[in-house]
C-alpha cells in the first residue's frame, strides 16, 4: 500500500466500505464516551487522513503487549495498524531485520520528522548507561532519545513503558524507568496494563489520527475515556460488595456464588481501567468474571503494592516482631517508672523517719 495515500483510499482498496468505517468509528467513539457526532467526524477525518507513521520500540518487555494487540477482536490490530497507520518499525511484526530494519526506522524518522508517533512497550534500563538492554549494539536509552527527538508524540503501551512495570519492581536491578522519565519534552500518553486492553490502544491511536490532538488524560497520563473509572465502580460483583457478601477463599460457597473478591485481595477499587466494561477476548470475560481478583496491573508499582492476595484494608507489613519489641520496650519503661516511684517513696519515708528522730528545738 503506498504510504502517501489516504486511509480512506487504502480502506476502499481493501474492500472496506464507508458503512463499515462508520461502524468501526461508532464503536471507538462509544468506547471513548465521545458524543454521537464524533463517530461520523472520526470517520471523515480517518478517511481523509494520511496514514500515520508509527515507530514501535520494544525495550524491557515480554511481548505480551504486542500479543494482546495482535490477538484482539474488533478492532483488530489489522484494522488498526495495517489500515489506519503505517507501522514503519516493529521488532516483532516487521519483515525486515538487522541493518535493513534500522534503515527503515531512520528513513521513517527523516521522512516524517515532527509528525511520526513513537509507540514504546517495555521499560527503559538506565543503570550503567542502560547496558542491560540493547539492540543492534545500541542501548534502549540511546534509541529512545534518538527516536523521540523529532516525534509528534509518544504512546507508552503497557505498564512497563508507562510506569516501569515488572522490571521496575524491587530491587530493580537494571535501573528500569518509564518512558515519561526519559522523554520530558514531548507529549507521552500512557496506556498501561499487563497487557493493556487492545481497544484502549486502538481508540487512542484512532483519536490521535482523527482529531490531531491528544485525548484528555488523567494525572498519570492515561486517557480518561479508558482509565477514568475504577474497575470496582463498574464491576458486576459490586452489589455483593455493597451488601457485604464476600468470597473468603477461591473455592468457598461465596466464590461459587460469584460474590465480591475484596477479601481475597482484589485491587479493583484502586485500579483504573476499562476491564469491567470493554473486557477481553471480544468482550467475553475479564479476570474478576473468571473468578480471580484484579491485580491492579494498570497502576504504578502494582508488583510491589503489598501482595496480590492481601486485602486492600489489611496492612502490608508484618507487625508481630514490631509488636513484641514495642511491648518489651513498653514493659521496660513501665517497670522503670515503677522502680523510680518506689525509690522516691522509700526516700520520702526515710526522710520522714529521720525527721521524727531529730526532735525540733
- In the complex, the smallest distance separating the C-beta of residue 161 from other proteins, rounded to whole angstroms, is 19
Pairing type for strands 52-58 and 117-121 reads parallel
Subset of 270-299 contacting other proteins (CB under 8 A) = 270
- In the complex, the smallest distance separating the C-beta of residue 53 from other proteins, rounded to whole angstroms, is 36
Mark residues 214-233: x for contact with other proteins by CB under 8 A, - for none.
Answer: ----------------x-xx
263 binds other proteins (CB under 8 A): yes
Number of residues near other proteins (by CB under 8 A): 42
322 binds other proteins (CB under 8 A): yes
Report which DSSP code applies to 79.
I
Measured CA to CA, the distance from residue 2 to residue 272 in angstroms comes to 39
Report which DSSP code applies to 155.
E
- In the complex, the smallest distance separating the C-beta of residue 80 from other proteins, rounded to whole angstroms, is 31
Q: What's the sign of the alpha-carbon dihedral 239, 243, 244, 249?
A: negative
Q: What is the dihedral of CA 19, 22, 23, 26, to 10 degrees?
A: -160
Phi/psi of residue 354, each to 5°? Answer: -65, -30
Does 108 sit behind a cis peptide bond, omega within 30 degrees of 0 on the bond before it? no
353 binds other proteins (CB under 8 A): no
Among residues 284 and 348, whose Cβ is nearest to other proteins? 348
Query: Can you name the residues that pair with 6 across neighbouring β-strands?
Result: 50
Among residues 313 and 360, whose Cβ is nearest to other proteins? 313
255 binds other proteins (CB under 8 A): no
Q: Are 160 and 174 in contact (CB under 8 A)?
A: no
User: Which of 96, 104, 305, 309 is the binder for other proteins (CB under 8 A)?
Assistant: 305
131 binds other proteins (CB under 8 A): no
CB proximity list for 208: less than 8 A, separation 6 or greater:
52, 117, 153, 189, 214, 215
Site residues (vs other proteins, CB under 8 A): 230, 232-233, 241-244, 246, 262-263, 269-270, 300-301, 304-306, 310-317, 319, 322-323, 325-327, 329-331, 333-335, 337-338, 341-342, 345
Amino acid at each position: 500500500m503506498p504510504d502517501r495515500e489516504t486511509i480512506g483510499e487504502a480502506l476502499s482498496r481493501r474492500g472496506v466500505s464507508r458503512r463499515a468505517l462508520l461502524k468501526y468509528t461508532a464503536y471507538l467513539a462509544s468506547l471513548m464516551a465521545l458524543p454521537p457526532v464524533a463517530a461520523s467526524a472520526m470517520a471523515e477525518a480517518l478517511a481523509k487522513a494520511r496514514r500515520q507513521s508509527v515507530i514501535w520500540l520494544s525495550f524491557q518487555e515480554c511481548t505480551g503487549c504486542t500479543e494482546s494487540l495482535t490477538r484482539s477482536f474488533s478492532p483488530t490490530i489489522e484494522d488498526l495498524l495495517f489500515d489506519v497507520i503505517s507501522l514503519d518499525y516493529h521488532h516483532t511484526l516487521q519483515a525486515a531485520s538487522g541493518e535493513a530494519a534500522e534503515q527503515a526506522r531512520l528513513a521513517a524518522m527523516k521522512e516524517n520528522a515532527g509528525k511520526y508517533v513513537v509507540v514504546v512497550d517495555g521499560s527503559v534500563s538506565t543503570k550503567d548507561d542502560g547496558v542491560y538492554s540493547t539492540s543492534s549494539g545500541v542501548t534502549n536509552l540511546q534509541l529512545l532519545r534518538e527516536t523521540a527527538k523529532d516525534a509528534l508524540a509518544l504512546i507508552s503501551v503497557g505498564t512497563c513503558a508507562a510506569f516501569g512495570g515488572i522490571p521496575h519492581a524491587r530491587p530493580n536491578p537494571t535501573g528500569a524507568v518509564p518512558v515519561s522519565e526519559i522523554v520530558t519534552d514531548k507529549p507521552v500518553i500512557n496506556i498501561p496494563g499487563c497487557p493493556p486492553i487492545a481497544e484502549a490502544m486502538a481508540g487512542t491511536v484512532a483519536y490521535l489520527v482523527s482529531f490531531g490532538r491528544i485525548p484528555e488524560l488523567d494525572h498519570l497520563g492515561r486517557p480518561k475515556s479508558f482509565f477514568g473509572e475504577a474497575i470496582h465502580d463498574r464491576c458486576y460483583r459490586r452489589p455483593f460488595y455493597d451488601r457485604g457478601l464476600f468470597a473468603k477463599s477461591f473455592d468457598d460457597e461465596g466464590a461459587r456464588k460469584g460474590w465480591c473478591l475484596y477479601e481475597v485481595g482484589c485491587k479493583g477499587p484502586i485500579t483504573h481501567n476499562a476491564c469491567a466494561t470493554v473486557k477481553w477476548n471480544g468482550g467475553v470475560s475479564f479476570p474478576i468474571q473468571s473468578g480471580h481478583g484484579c491485580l491492579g496491573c494498570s497502576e504504578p508499582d502494582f508488583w510491589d503494592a503489598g501482595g496480590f492476595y492481601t486485602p486492600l484494608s489489611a496492612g502490608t507489613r508484618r507487625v508481630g516482631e514490631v509488636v513484641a519489641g514495642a511491648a518489651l520496650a513498653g514493659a521496660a519503661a513501665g517497670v522503670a517508672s515503677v522502680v523510680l516511684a518506689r525509690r522516691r517513696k522509700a526516700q520520702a519515708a526515710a526522710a520522714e523517719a529521720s525527721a521524727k528522730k531529730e526532735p525540733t528545738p
